């Protein structure tokens, strides 16, 4: 938001001589009000882990006070000429301020015994509109006058001074929500506009295999149904395979690719999802979510089990 500088030149009333009396010169000060720049107001939504909505904030904003000083054209009483002074009061607009607004991060809480993960919402927040009003100090004129000896005092004018109104619009961050869902054998990670299902490889495959186990069908079918219900229309669906660090990466990388492709084939053939939306990728051991070894360097089977996974994700 920008408001231009306001400038009015000084007004010089020259010396005059009336009836033998010298009326001294007077300078009426000018007015200089600097330009105003209020930078763009940036809202912030903090990043948050899956299953959470990040904290949101709108910064405070203020429009500073502004003042037009009072002004007076002095009167004249000399040599048979009498002119009253002419005055205009000063004008002032006080500072206008809107406080910042924020709302904290909110997260879904998974029940320990299974069941439904509850719906959560980050509420709508708004910082209201503010305005500093228009100001004007009016035009002034002291008329000219002459005495009977044809000695004259000229008219004096002081231009009006105007300061435009300044407005800062309201700023809003809309509400966001994470829908409730049933806890299954996969971990569900939801963001503001995405959903992901992380399925342990041990649920899907036998050791060192890339063939879907029959026992995994119910969980994959549930995931396919949730994607169908929650995904944006036609949104691509990524299927990413991951392994732990046991064995050589030259073996683990293609294994992760084959496992991701196996899930793609199942979701297309059995889960009812369009094959054109599905894309398999393998990352091997490159993207662990837990340590594969303990701090002392020994093997960490629980960590490795978390790293052996397939993640199905899409936008909502």
Domain edges within the chain: 2-111+120-173, 184-315
Burial class of residue 188 (count of CB atoms within 10 Å of its CB; 0-12, 13-18, 19+) = buried
Q: Which two tokens stand for residue 77?
A: 């009483």
Distance CA 126, CA 106 (A): 18
| Interval 237-291: pLDDT, tens | 999 999 998 889 899 999 999 999 999 999 999 999 999 999 999 999 988 888 8
What residues does 70 pair with on adjacent strands?
none
3-state secondary structure of 306: helix
pLDDT of res. 180: 65
| Interval 51-87: pLDDT, tens | 788 899 999 999 999 999 999 999 999 999 999 999 9
What residues does 310 pair with on adjacent strands?
199, 241
Nearest to residue 196, comparing CAs of 119, 273, 309?
309
Quickly tell me which residue has 């899956």 as its tokens.
Answer: 50
Asked whether residue 49 carries a pLDDT value surpassing 90, the answer given is: no
Contact assessment for residue 127 and residue 173, using Cβ atoms and an 8 Å cutoff: no
Count helices and strands (H / E) in the chain.
Answer: 4, 40
Distances (CA, A) of 54 to 129, 146, 216, 226: 25, 77, 33, 23
For the chain, state the CA radius of gyration. 38
Give the domain 184-315 fold.
60s Ribosomal Protein L30; Chain: A; (3.30.1330)
| Interval 125-177: pLDDT, tens | 999 999 999 999 999 999 999 999 999 999 999 999 999 999 999 999 999 88
pLDDT of res. 253: 94
- Looking at every residue in the chain, the average pLDDT score rounds to 89
Q: Which two tokens stand for residue 215?
A: 């026992």
pTM over 0.75: no
Distance CA 7, CA 34 (A): 8
DSSP 83-140: E--EEE--EEE--EEE--EEE--EE----TT-SEEPPEEEPPEEE--EEEPPEEE--E
């Amino acid at each position: 938001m920008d408001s231009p500088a306001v400038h009015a030149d000084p007004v010089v009333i020259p010396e005059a001589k009336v009836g033998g009396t010298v009326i001294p010169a007077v300078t009426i000060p000018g007015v200089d009000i600097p330009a105003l720049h209020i930078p763009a107001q940036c809202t912030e939504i903090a990043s948050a882990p899956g299953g959470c909505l990040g904290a949101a904030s709108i910064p405070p904003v203020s429009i500073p006070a502004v003042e037009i000083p009072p002004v007076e054209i002095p009167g004249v009483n000399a040599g048979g000429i009498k002119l009253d002074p002419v005055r205009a009061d000063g004008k002032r607009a006080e500072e206008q301020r809107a406080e910042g607004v924020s709302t904290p991060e909110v997260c879904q809480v998974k029940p320990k015994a299974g069941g439904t993960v509850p719906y959560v919402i980050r509420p709508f927040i708004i910082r209201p509109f503010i305005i500093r009003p228009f100001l004007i100090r009016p035009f002034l004129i002291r008329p000219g006058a002459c005495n009977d000896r044809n000695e004259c005092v000229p008219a004096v004018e002081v231009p009006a001074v105007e300061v435009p109104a300044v407005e800062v619009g309201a700023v809003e961050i809309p509400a966001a929500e994470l829908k409730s869902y049933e806890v299954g054998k996969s971990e569900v990670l939801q963001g503001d506009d995405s959903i992901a299902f992380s399925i342990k490889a041990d649920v899907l495959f036998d050791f060192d295999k890339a063939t879907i186990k029959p026992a995994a069908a119910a969980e994959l079918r549930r995931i396919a149904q949730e994607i169908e219900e929650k995904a944006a229309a036609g949104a691509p669906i990524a299927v990413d395979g991951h392994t732990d660090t046991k064995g050589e990466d030259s073996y683990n990388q293609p294994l992760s690719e084959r496992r991701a492709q196996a899930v793609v084939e199942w979701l297309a053939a059995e889960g009812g999802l369009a094959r054109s939306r599905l894309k398999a990728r393998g990352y091997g051991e490159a993207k662990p979510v837990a340590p594969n070894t303990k701090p002392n360097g020994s093997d960490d089977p629980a960590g490795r089990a978390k790293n052996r996974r397939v993640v199905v994700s899409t936008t909502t």
